[in-house]
Structure 1
Amino acid sequence: MPLQFVGTIESLGSEVAGLSIGDRVMSPFTASCGACFYCSKGLTCRCSHPEAQLFGWIQEPAPGEPGSSRPRGLHGGQAQYVRVPLASSTLVKVPDDVSDEEALLLGDILSTAFFCAERGGVAEGDTVAVVGLGPVGLLAVLAARHLGAARVFAVDGVPGRRAQAAKFGAEPLAPEDAAAAAAAATGGRGADVVLEAVGAGGALALAFDLVRPAGVVSSVGVHTAAGWPFTPVDAYNKNATLRFGRCPARAYMERVLPIVQSKKWPFADIITHRMSLREGVRAYDMFERRKEGVIKVVLDPWR
């Protein structure tokens, strides 16, 4: 960890094209080749190149696993220098009118928020509910508003995060109040689209309860449970559309970049703490425990 980072190019491999030493660049959370079947369809998170792996995630091979005995994955950006494979197709130059912090968000959570909202099909006039107001969920509030949602309900158990969502133009709700509020606002139907950004069974169950019949639940939370909090027949009876998956951040970065450059939306306002890399353990503890009003922490390896 972390999955996303911003930096300046210090050296280049012999096969790198389109980049120069001194360029300020941002990286998505996966490397990608830009040319394979999946990249050509904009699904850069599923690039089939052997070096197209996740930053900040190292997986040891299972005992007896065929093929290479080398670990898979790439070291993350918690260092002063990071090696980026497939750099020509992975890195994106940062324009002068985009700050390092805005660029940092584009590499993962801002792109993921727009991916979540677009996969949900958020359209002009929709009623949208966002379940989970961590960094991705808060940015999903802004993404839904950008796509034309008329009302956005923002659901989280942490009062400070609900307060930030209210600043972004959402109607904040505690989880226990969300279903009744969404029903009351829609003549009993429920939300047209629910964006789930937690990755926990309870959050997914709430998202399913909030969505109207024939609505869409778009989930970008990383779910690790062995089962579902609802059954296939529940989904059938509700005519629900369920969409899950990892964001193709590299494909989204350039799409969302003009929105960042417009300065219409205060995306970087979710950054509550700026700390040195030496304070990384404390930063993770703060985030895990939701202490000191933390939402998003930026680590600076040069401080």
Structure 2
Amino acid sequence: MKAITFEGIRKIKIAEVPEPRIQDSRDVIIRVERGALCGSDMHVYNGRETGIDEGTVMGHEFTGTVMETGKEVSNFKQGDRVASPFTLNCGDCFYCKKGLSARCEKSRLFGWVENGIGLQGVHTKYVRVPFGDSTLVKLPDEISWETGVLMGDNFPTGYFCAEMAEIKPDQTYIVIGVIGCGPIGLMTIISTFLQGAENVFAVDLLQNRLKKAKQLGAIPINTNDKSWKEVVNEYTEGRGFDGVMEAVGSAATMKLAFDMVRPGGILASVGVQAYEQLPFNPPGLYDKNITMKFGRCPARSYMEKLIPLVQKEQLDLTTVITHTFSLEEGVEAYRLFDEQKDECIKVLLKP
């Protein structure tokens, strides 16, 4: 079967790879119906995260149809529609039971094989999912494959980020900044409104992303505009944002988040951190009295409550999808997403 494989920094190709088979009685084989590119795929693509073996199938966002199940699988049968988080979850360890599935003791990330050990990705036709019963989630018929892709990573991550910022509808201030208006940032904006925020500012350098954020109800701030500090001060009486959510993972955006949050505020970050040291020092933290929260979203722990929320609110999450490619066009899809050409925000793949 065809797959998009990693061949080196900024090198991927469409290759023939073996079809997966049941290796454990808890495995499920999925036919991929939709896949998607994620910003963290670009960390691998550009070499910001190293170690992945050449020939590894890329990707970790997908929805699909159950094709085969191991003997111990009881929650799924052939033909079921499913969504998946981006990591495996055993369902039985200390962290899974605590609702912190991102730290599952047996977790592995789809699309990461290092020194021959790991899990192949989902940018292909069929995928093996270990711990199928505790990893996969049934996707209701009324939720599209496209929306389902966003339920396994982007939307839970945005919702998780908003929760870390402790937005409460009974608070009267609630002036929130979201830094980075890619797919995660846009999902964070949607989530802040769902959780009760009234004044949400979207911070980015790209006008097309700010335009999308404005359509979602946020007030755009382009940091290329030298007057952005005046805008922040005007809306916050010179204090800074009560909460800042960082959805990029660079030193520059983290420093911006620190500068924008008010004393006593909350800085929440879900961007995959691609630098070694924080761009501010302990005395600065001490002087601002801020609370900082970081971490990978426990997507599997959120999916079962967010799927009903999408149904109830009739949310159109697919507004962030700007481009769709076939699997055979995968090299071009990665290039476009990496270069952010043609006002690209979110790229979908159809195997």
Q: What band does the TM-score fall into relative to the shorter chain?
A: over 0.9
Corresponding position of 2:350 = 300
Corresponding position of 1:143 = 191
Q: After superposition, what is the alpha-carbon deviation per residue over 1:20-61, rounded to whole angstroms, capped at 9, x for unaligned?
A: 110000110001011110000001111112xx200012222x
Aligned pairs (5 A) from 1:188-207: 188-207=238-257
Q: Conserved in 2, the CA contact under 8 Å of 1:192 and 1:211?
A: yes
Q: Does 1:128 align with 2:176?
A: yes
Q: After superposition, what is the alpha-carbon deviation per residue over 1:93-120, rounded to whole angstroms, capped at 9, x for unaligned?
A: 0011211111110100111000111011
Query: How far, CA to CA, are the matches of 1:163 and 1:32 in structure 2?
Result: 37
Q: Does 1:24 align with 2:81?
A: yes
Q: Does 1:187 align with 2:237?
A: yes
Change (3 A) 1:289 1:216: same
Look up the equivalent residue of 2:76 and give its one-letter code.
L
Look up the equivalent residue of 2:145 and give its one-letter code.
D
State the percentage of identical aligned residues: 46
Corresponding position of 2:267 = 217
Larger CA deviation: 122-131 vs 256-265: 256-265
Query: How far, CA to CA, are the matches of 1:243 and 1:179 in structure 2?
Result: 24
Query: How far, CA to CA, are the matches of 2:152 and 2:127 in structure 1?
Result: 15
Aligned pairs (5 A) from 1:72-91: 72-91=117-136
Look up the equivalent residue of 2:78 and give its one-letter code.
I
Corresponding position of 1:280 = 330
Deviation at 1:17, TM superposition (A): 1.4
Corresponding position of 1:54 = 109
Q: Does 1:11 align with 2:68?
A: yes
Deviation at 1:264, TM superposition (A): 4.1
Q: Does 1:236 align with 2:283?
A: no
- Which blocks of at least 5 consecutive residues in structure 1 are unaligned? 61-70
Query: How far, CA to CA, are the matches of 1:151 and 1:72 in structure 2?
Result: 46
Larger CA deviation: 276-285 vs 173-182: 173-182
Query: How far, CA to CA, are the matches of 2:186 and 2:229 in structure 1?
Result: 19
Q: After superposition, what is the alpha-carbon deviation per residue over 1:149-193, rounded to whole angstroms, capped at 9, x for unaligned?
A: 111100110000000000000001112444332221011111111
Look up the equivalent residue of 2:217 and give its one-letter code.
G
Query: How far, CA to CA, are the matches of 2:96 and 2:126 in structure 1?
Result: 26
Look up the equivalent residue of 2:135 and give its one-letter code.
T
Corresponding position of 1:34 = 91
Q: 2:215 aligns with which of 147, 167, 172?
A: 167
Corresponding position of 2:10 = none
Query: How far, CA to CA, are the matches of 2:121 and 2:216 in structure 1?
Result: 31
Change (3 A) 1:252 1:178: farther
RMSD: 1.1
More strand by share: 2
Structure 1 moving runs of 4+ over 6 Å? none
Change (3 A) 1:123 1:178: farther
Indicate the SS of the match to 2:309. helix
Deviation at 1:121, TM superposition (A): 0.9
Corresponding position of 2:149 = 104
Q: Does 1:256 align with 2:306?
A: yes
Q: After superposition, what is the alpha-carbon deviation per residue over 1:211-269, rounded to whole angstroms, capped at 9, x for unaligned?
A: 11110110011112121110011011000111111000000111211221124432110
Query: How far, CA to CA, are the matches of 1:163 and 1:110 in structure 2?
Result: 19
Indicate the SS of the match to 2:324. strand
Query: How far, CA to CA, are the matches of 2:147 and 2:229 in structure 1?
Result: 34
- Which blocks of at least 5 consecutive residues in structure 2 are unaligned? 1-57
Change (3 A) 1:115 1:178: farther
Corresponding position of 1:68 = none
Query: How far, CA to CA, are the matches of 2:312 and 2:145 in structure 1?
Result: 16
Under a length normalisation based on structure 2, what TM-score does the superposition of the two structures give? 0.80
Indicate the SS of the match to 1:10. strand
Look up the equivalent residue of 2:319 and give its one-letter code.
D
Query: How far, CA to CA, are the matches of 1:182 and 1:265 in structure 2?
Result: 29
Indicate the SS of the match to 1:215. strand
Q: Conserved in 2, the CA contact under 8 Å of 1:179 and 1:190?
A: no
